[in-house]
A and B are shown apart, each in its own frame.
Chain A
Amino acid sequence: MTEFEFLGELSVLISLPKPENAVTIAVSSRVLFRTEKEQKVFEQKGIEEYLRYQVEHENEPFAPGPAFPFVKALETVNNRLRELYPDSEELFDIVLVTYNHAHVGIRLINTINYHNLFIERFCMTGGSSPIGYLKAWHTNLYLSADAEKVQEALAEGIAAATMFMPEKQIEVSETQLRVAFDGDAVLFSDESERIFKAHGLDKFFEHERENENRLLDHGPLKGFLEVLGKLQKKFYAKGHRMDCPIRTYLVTARSAASSGIRALKTLRAWGLEMDEALFLAGAPKGPMLEKIRPHIYFDDQMFHVEGAVEMGAIAAHVPYGIAQKYPHKKSTNAGK
């Protein structure tokens, strides 16, 4: 490295935000990149062989994984934010948090270099739990392939979701970050979900009508929507409402005419705007997601996540609430 390159590197680092000021997104290596082959080696031959394999293939970069387009989109938003607010630390900060061993470190760094990602911060915990590190980094969102780790994070109050690799992938925007959320048990608590599961659809409608003016409690991803909203307002303040590089969507099985009202009132009371609210009244979510093409879609029900992934949409499972105990049955998915 020449001195010029070195000084350049250091000045870049000095411009990285403090974790508490940034919107910190922690991603694991298995969702940022595709590591299925390596996973198989680990599962079939054990850790020593797995590490040997990784080191042998050190100079072969991994292919992009399910979180890759999302991370690229975050970088696009950062570039726009820096243009408008050059001194602000309110940026996305992407941290690689993996429980991989540091033996895989060189391959991971080579891969980051190959794909030209702006990731300078990472924790390779060598098998120890990543949860303590998530807190140390003031993580706003954690994406991983490991449902257990994600549940641990949720239990600690950190927004988290498990991601899956679609077989085919629909093209997503390179200029606008699109984030879609399910409502119940994602943005909102699972209280209404519980009524539905325990007492059925009619009881659910009754309950929502009776409680129309009582706000829903918050869910695990509410905080993340909030920070997105904060960044959006920064673009609006500089006249970029029409071409804002962040767009948010609500994709819910609730119906606009009835149960959806409570959801909207709650969002309004929270001071959160969603760019689009799509009330599907129980219709399948896949076609809508195909239209939206989100960089990430959060849902608490595996059924919906799998359906989305089948269509090529990038979906993430939030293992929160009652839906985890009672997996969805196709026949009961009537209009909500």
Chain B
Amino acid sequence: MEDKKNCTGPLMIALQYNDLFDLDSISTSTDTDALPKGRAFTFMKAVQTVNERLVEQNKSDCLLFEVILISKECSEEIKTKIVESVKHYGLEIGKFFFCKKEELINTLQSNKVKLFLSTERDDVYEALHTGIPAALLYDQADDHVFNQLTVIFSGDVIGFSEDSLDGLSEFGFSETQIETIKTAKICMKEFAVLIGQMRRRFGQENSPLCTCVLTSWGSRNVCASALKTLREWGLDVDEAFCLAGAPCSPILAVVKPHILWDGGLLNMS
């Protein structure tokens, strides 16, 4: 059980405050004590559930999730509100970073985050482009169950070979898009290895962590290749989906992931 001897944690995830709190509805909110809940709330609760279950199994487990909050350009008043609101909701936020917009990438890099999560596609791709592991925080429309954290890995990004990815230029993908996909694969690996270790702490049933592969464009063999690669990386996923060009949203609406690694492929039509 090597991973219990070497401490590979914590698994640091960075969120932006405008995902954690809903700043658009401040004016309509009647609660003056705290900022209104935002899109990252169910994610936070799910992460805390995983941590609780990990600690339940092993009090000294150091491979836990740690969430840090990044705020771009906000007033002193908002800064205070953020810290207060976090306390108010009982959220486990490890660190707060208040920085300028241009400093976002540096902040992420210097803190060695294992994952930058955002609902903003542009932020995610910019981060990926500089080699920072980044994924989409999937926008949950409703307050569903918090007792399971669901992570989707892109079968296309992992399953297509290097040559095949270069061939995507024949299908209208730009050089930048192809580069982003390749970088995403490299970034995904470290995260997948850690999630794999975490997943193995639990059994098949009643796990607070649910891992999936979703192949949007690739054939079944691309999906098989992704499954094999993830297994090599130490992660045997729970669920697998192969869409072969069918629209993703209906499927995602059923899976309801929190973390969606797509490398930029999912919003292609």
Residues of A within 8 A of B (CB): 1-3, 6-7, 9-10, 12-14, 16, 18-19, 47-48, 51, 101-103, 105-106, 109-110, 112-113, 119-128, 132-133, 135-137
Contact = CB atoms under 8 A, between A and B. Distances in A.
B242 A102 contact: no
B164 A6 contact: yes
Interface in B218-242: 218-224, 227-228, 236-242
B240 A16 contact: no
Nearest to B161: A1
B224 A109 contact: yes
A47 B253 CA distance: 27
Nearest to B216: A13
B245 A127 contact: no
Interface string B235-269: 01111111111110011011000000000000000
Given A7-B170, A121-B246, A122-B242, A1 B224 contact: no
A132 B254 contact: yes
A18 B247 contact: yes
Contact of A3 (B167, B217, B241): B167
Chain B interface bracket (under 10, 10 to 19, 20 to 34, 35 or more) = 35 or more
Nearest to B171: A10
B210 interface: yes
Given A10-B217, A13-B219, A133-B251, 6 more contacts: A3-B163, A7-B170, A9-B218, A13-B218, A123-B239, A124-B239
Contacts of A137: 246, 250
Contacts of A136: 250-251, 253-254
A22 to B, nearest CB: 9
Which 6 A-B residue pairings sit nearest by Cβ, starting from the closest?
Answer: A136-B250, A102-B240, A132-B254, A126-B238, A120-B244, A126-B239
B244 A106 contact: no
A75 to B, nearest CB: 15
A137 B217 CA distance: 16
B204 interface: yes
Most buried by A among B161, B222, B239: B239
B241 A122 contact: yes
B90 interface: no
Nearest to B237: A102
Indicate the member of A10, A19, A125, A127 with the most B CB atoms within 10 Å.
A10
A2 B161 CA distance: 9
Interface string B137-177: 00000000000000000000000110110110011000000
Contacts of B161: 1, 6
A106 B239 contact: no
Contact of A19 (B212, B217, B218, B246): B246
Contact of A103 (B166, B236, B247, B251): B236
B213 interface: yes
Contacts of A9: 218-219, 221-222
A47 B240 contact: no
Interface string B98-137: 0000000000000000000000000000000000000000
The CB with the most chain A CB atoms within 10 A, among B212, B223, B239, B240, is that of B240
Contacts of A110: 224
B205 interface: yes
Nearest to A48: B204
Given A101-B204, A106-B228, A124-B240, A133 B171 contact: no
A57 B163 CA distance: 31
10 contacts: A6-B160, A12-B219, A13-B217, A48-B203, A101-B204, A109-B224, A126-B238, A132-B254, A133-B254, A135-B250
A120 B237 contact: no
Nearest to A120: B244
